[in-house]
Structure 1
Amino acid sequence: MNKSTIVFFERKFPSANMVLVKDELPILIDTGFGSDVKETERLITEAGVSPEELHLIVNTHYHSDHVGGNFYLQQNYGVKIAAHKWEAELINVGDSEACSAEWLDQPVEPYQVDRKLSNNEEIHTGSRTLQVLHTPGHTLGHISLYEPEEKTLICGDLFHNNDIGWLNIFREGVSSIQRSLESLERLSMLPIEKAYSGHGPQIENPMASIDAARSRFEKWLTMPEKISWHACKRIFSFTLIMKDGLAKEEIDYYLLQCGWFQDFARYSFQVQPEEFTKILLDEMIRSGAARWQDNQLIATAPYHAPVKEWLDQNVKPKEWKAFLKSY
């Protein structure tokens, strides 16, 4: 392989961004949403690495938009997968809480984690070394990767160029905000010249983005309702992206089936779920997160909708048992 390079792929929803380390032992960090796997394959191939050449897939965390291509690449090319040990344990036993997929109502095809990562572990790609940094907050097993030669940080969904990852207080704990702040503090100690997050463009000024993220989290400590609003709008927007919109008459029925909606309504906002549907819809429109189009509520973020046939499979970890037995 030619001189080692780090290639960043900025992707539309529902897929998260990816990073490819081209080296003697090529590494792909995150694999996008499951319905976009052919595009995932095309992107890395056009970058000069064929899927069978991949030495390892590393997941920053186990949400569907980051791990969706794992199944295809593992099954078809035998690519090994690495993730933080806490999330790996849930994945490898097919726990119903794995990927928070059931609670979020997001399909994830089955995969197995071959390498369980711990804080300060190193991943060697040939001429480079990636340092594994446990940066919990967005999820308990969230990791960032740091490449010291080029002072490059890959930070998943801990923070973005002008935003932060949503916090799942019902699955990751109410202290996820404190964990996020500690994770940011740790990263702020590193010399960082380039940073890539799970969504949006390359982070042009990593230290400024870290400072902005820290400031926003600190404000949330005194206004916990903002944590829940941020999460609800992100989760519902992702649903609208996956489903390419929801008809007005479908919305109430759909939301009332969702674990995340029930929890936020009852415990964060202390209203009955039936009352919260209108409150959430009004806020989605007010904030510009969604809009009405021909009686359909659609997300305003740029996206590429999954093929309906793929989405209709609706695979969740509770249905992984047969795959796990054959692995």
Structure 2
Amino acid sequence: MSAISLPATIRVFERGWLSSNNILFTGPGPATLVDSGYLIHAAQTLALVEHVLGERPLERLINTHLHSDHCGGNAALQARYGCRTLIPVAEADKVRAWDEAALSFQATGQQCERFGFDGTLAPGDPLEMGGMHWQVLGAPGHDPHSLIFYCPAEAILISADALWQHGFGVIFPELEGQSGFAEARATLALIDALDVRLVIPGHGAPFTDVKPALARAFSRLDFLQADPVRNAENAIKVMLKFLLLERQQFALDALPAMFAHNPVIESARRRYLDKTPAELAAWAVQSLVRAGVARRDGGQLVNHDL
């Protein structure tokens, strides 16, 4: 971060992997937060925002997409500030009805307290944040309805989970037999066509090596698309690690049932993986242990961070 030059009106709270980064615009114009982190970190999100804003209210909250690690703090921020909330237009009916089956929370086994919204954003909309003009762009792939935000004057891209410095988010639609690889490739091509000097990703530090990051992302996408089993296996490891980050430990003998009852994991297993739920759980546990990001302790799988 020390070598990255951000406009004075932008503050980035780098949150790690369980919670997405939060991007706070302090003015001119309404104080605005892009993405709110995961539910169990909502108090931390509030504290970070309050530390910067002081007595000034947060007037607007915007979500790039509605995965739980990007919108889990929405309800807490709304309760504290009564902030105007904008979400991707394609998610409006689901949020209005609070349909957790249509939203991603139930399918991924993750938490999100119910929140409302005041307006929507769609690709092509203009947006002003921090005294800068931004373009709202569609970024399907990781999530069909994800948005990214581009400021041409500053050559800054808020990329959500469409592009990280070393990859991108899981291509979830492919796990359920829907198209996702082609959309992710088109999103990367869209980013490649922009004049971008600085990317603020959904996870990880802001970065300026944009072309190398895109090359890594295209290579990663080629690798996954060549054999969709790789995408399925990666997704299952990611979802188990997310669970461990949230709970810190999990009973090993409970994992097969949890896998069997998780719609995303079960769909991926039936479609791509020649394993029973018990075999898949054992494989996932071994994969995390081998990678050094979890350990066995008696009958428990325990989180371990490198």
TM-score, scaled to structure 1: 0.85
Q: Does the C-alpha gap of structure 1 residues 289 and 163 become closer, same or farther in structure 2, counting only changes over 3 Å?
A: farther
Aligned residue runs from structure 1 range 223-242, under 5 A = 223-242=227-246
2:211 to 198, 207, 211: 207
- Matched to 1:36, the amino acid is H
Q: Which residue of 1 aligns with 2:157?
A: 153
CA distance in 1, matches of 2:258, 2:178: 26
CA distance in 1, matches of 2:103, 2:68: 7
Q: Which residue of 2 aligns with 1:320?
A: none
Q: Which residue of 2 aligns with 1:305?
A: none
**Do 1:21 and 1:28's aligned partners in 2 also have CA atoms closer than 8 Å?**
yes
CA distance in 2, matches of 1:167, 1:126: 31
Q: Deviation of residue 226 (structure 1)?
A: 0.9
State, as a whole percentage, how many aligned pairs show the same letter.
26
Q: Deviation of residue 45 (structure 1)?
A: 2.0
Question: CA deviation digits over 1:79-112, x for unaligned, max 9?
Answer: 1111211122211121233431111111110112
1:34 to 39, 61, 68: 39
- Matched to 1:257, the amino acid is H
* SS of equivalent to 2:245: helix
Question: CA deviation digits over 1:179-201, x for unaligned, max 9?
Answer: 01100111111111111111122
Q: Which residue of 1 aligns with 2:100?
A: 96
Q: Deviation of residue 49 (structure 1)?
A: 5.5
CA distance in 2, matches of 1:48, 1:94: 30
Check if 1:25 corresponds to 2:61. Answer: no
1:47 to 48, 52, 61: 52
Q: Which residue of 2 aligns with 1:14?
A: 18
Q: Does the C-alpha gap of structure 1 residues 246 and 148 become closer, same or farther in structure 2, counting only changes over 3 Å?
A: same
Q: Deviation of residue 218 (structure 1)?
A: 1.8
CA distance in 2, matches of 1:205, 1:49: 34
Q: Deviation of residue 294 (structure 1)?
A: 5.3
- Matched to 1:6, the amino acid is I
* SS of equivalent to 1:109: coil
Query: Which segment drifts farther, 203-212 or 56-65?
Result: 203-212
Q: Deviation of residue 228 (structure 1)?
A: 0.6
1:275 to 276, 279, 282: 279
2:140 to 132, 136, 140: 136
CA distance in 1, matches of 2:31, 2:224: 39
* SS of equivalent to 2:172: coil
Q: Does the C-alpha gap of structure 1 residues 54 and 171 become closer, same or farther in structure 2, counting only changes over 3 Å?
A: farther
CA distance in 1, matches of 2:233, 2:163: 17
- Matched to 1:30, the amino acid is D
Query: Which segment drifts farther, 215-224 or 176-185?
Result: 215-224
* SS of equivalent to 1:284: helix
Aligned residue runs from structure 1 range 71-220, under 5 A = 71-125=75-129, 127-169=131-173, 174-220=178-224
* SS of equivalent to 1:11: coil
Q: Does the C-alpha gap of structure 1 residues 126 and 197 become closer, same or farther in structure 2, counting only changes over 3 Å?
A: closer
Pairwise CA RMSD: 2.1
Q: Which residue of 2 aligns with 1:57?
A: 61
Structure 2: runs of 5+ lacking an equivalent: 1-6
Aligned length: 299
Q: Deviation of residue 301 (structure 1)?
A: 4.0
Stretches of 4+ moved more than 6 A in 1? Answer: none
CA distance in 2, matches of 1:43, 1:262: 37
**Do 2:257 and 2:277's aligned partners in 1 also have CA atoms closer than 8 Å?**
no
Question: CA deviation digits over 1:221-273, x for unaligned, max 9?
Answer: 21111111111111111011111111333333333332223222222203332
CA distance in 2, matches of 1:257, 1:86: 27
Q: Which residue of 2 aligns with 1:310?
A: none
Query: Which segment drifts farther, 199-208 or 293-302?
Result: 293-302
Q: Deviation of residue 276 (structure 1)?
A: 1.9
Q: Deviation of residue 295 (structure 1)?
A: 4.2
